[in-house]
Amino acid sequence: MSSDLDTLLGMGFDKHKAELAVKESGGLQDALEWLEINQHRSHEEIVASSETTASETTATAGDDRNAELVSIQAGNQARSLVCNECCKKFRSQAQAEFHASKTQHVDFAESEEEISALSQEEKKARLEELRQKLAEKRAGMSEQDKIDKKRNEEIRRKSTKETQDIKEELKKKEQLKEAATKRKEKQEEIEAKARIKAKIAADKKERELKAEKDKAKREGRAAPAVASATPTAAITPSPEGSKPASAYTETRLRLQTSRGSVQKTFPVATTLYEVAAALTKETGGEVQSFTQNFPKKTFDVVDFGASLRELGLVPSASLTWAQLLDQDLVER
């Protein structure tokens, strides 16, 4: 028995299955047949099936033994067992029990026919046939493993590409969001600087008026009147002066240049930078700042990002501009 087990282990069969095959069969040939039949079943399934059919096999074996005793008493010599359901013959009781466990056949009888054992050549041929079947099975499993590995690699690559696309999309969105935030912060900074400059100018004007009032009081003369926007309206008369500034869609600018006075019309949403660009294109000089005559106010590069409406240059205004020349500002 140990020699048959070593032979099966040498052929590459699982140790647990090989031990069960030797135990359940009567020789190497039957063990190989048992392994071939149960090649797709796990060790646990085989054990569970053997326990389930144990009682049925025991009862069948008891009936066969009784029949054997009757036959011997009648003077017959039993040399083998035969399955009446499939007519297969067996040399030993163990082989018949194994056949019953795998086929669920229960009708067995004795036979006087002697079954000859396999010759050495037949055993070798049988072993070679089983080796080839085992090699084919392993090759098929190896090929299936390659297919499964290739499919898993394709799934992994697809998943990786989708993940990279999602990351790229999120990165683009973050960049756009960051750019929008920077633009907003820059605009808020420009507006804050404009408000600060306006506040400084208003405070300066207030201090000047207060100083003039105090001087007039000391000299015993009337205090000067507060300047109003009436002169501006006189300079740039508008037939629609009663309309609020927010109702206008365009504004007229009178620009003092080296070639004289130029009047242009711009949309109220036009930035002072765009006005400077138009003036540079027309005259060839680079605009450094604009100055409003009344009320007196200067707009430099800090204010260039604001629109004409935001700077209060609606519905009309008169501006002179300063050009950058040899790093100095020259009033034109």
Task: For residue range 105-155, list pLDDT tens digits in order.
Answer: 888 888 777 776 667 787 778 788 878 878 787 777 778 888 888 888 889
Give the residue, 308 or 22, on which the prediction is more confident.
308
pLDDT in tens, 198-249: 999 999 998 998 888 888 888 887 766 655 444 443 444 444 445 777 788 9
Average pLDDT of every residue of the chain = 76
Amino acid 306 reads A
Number of neighbouring beta carbons within 10 Å of residue 55: 9
Q: Give the span between the Cα atoms of 26 and 94, in whole angstroms.
A: 6
Residues pairing with 80 in the sheet: 111
pLDDT given for residue 235 in this prediction: 41
Is residue 267 very low, low, confident or very high in pLDDT (cuts 50, 70, 90)?
Answer: very high
Give the residue, 155 or 41, on which the prediction is more confident.
155
Average pLDDT, integer, range 48-74: 54
Query: If residue 80 lies in a helix (H) or strand (E), which one and from where to where?
Result: strand 80-83
* β pairing state of 80-83 and 287-292: unpaired
pLDDT given for residue 1 in this prediction: 41
Asked if 37 and 85 touch (Cβ cutoff 8 Å), the reply is: no
Q: Computed from CA positions of residues 76, 81, 82, 83, in that sequence, does the dihedral angle turn out positive or negative?
A: positive
Cα atoms in the 13 Å half-sphere on the side-chain side of 137: 11
Asked if 101 and 57 touch (Cβ cutoff 8 Å), the reply is: yes
Read off the tokens for 75: 């003077």
Read off the tokens for 178: 């960051």
Number of neighbouring beta carbons within 10 Å of residue 8: 23
**Computed over its alpha carbons, how large is the radius of gyration of the chain?**
55
Q: Strand (E) positions, 268-327?
A: 287-292, 297-299, 316-325
Residues pairing with 291 in the sheet: 298, 320
pLDDT given for residue 145 in this prediction: 82
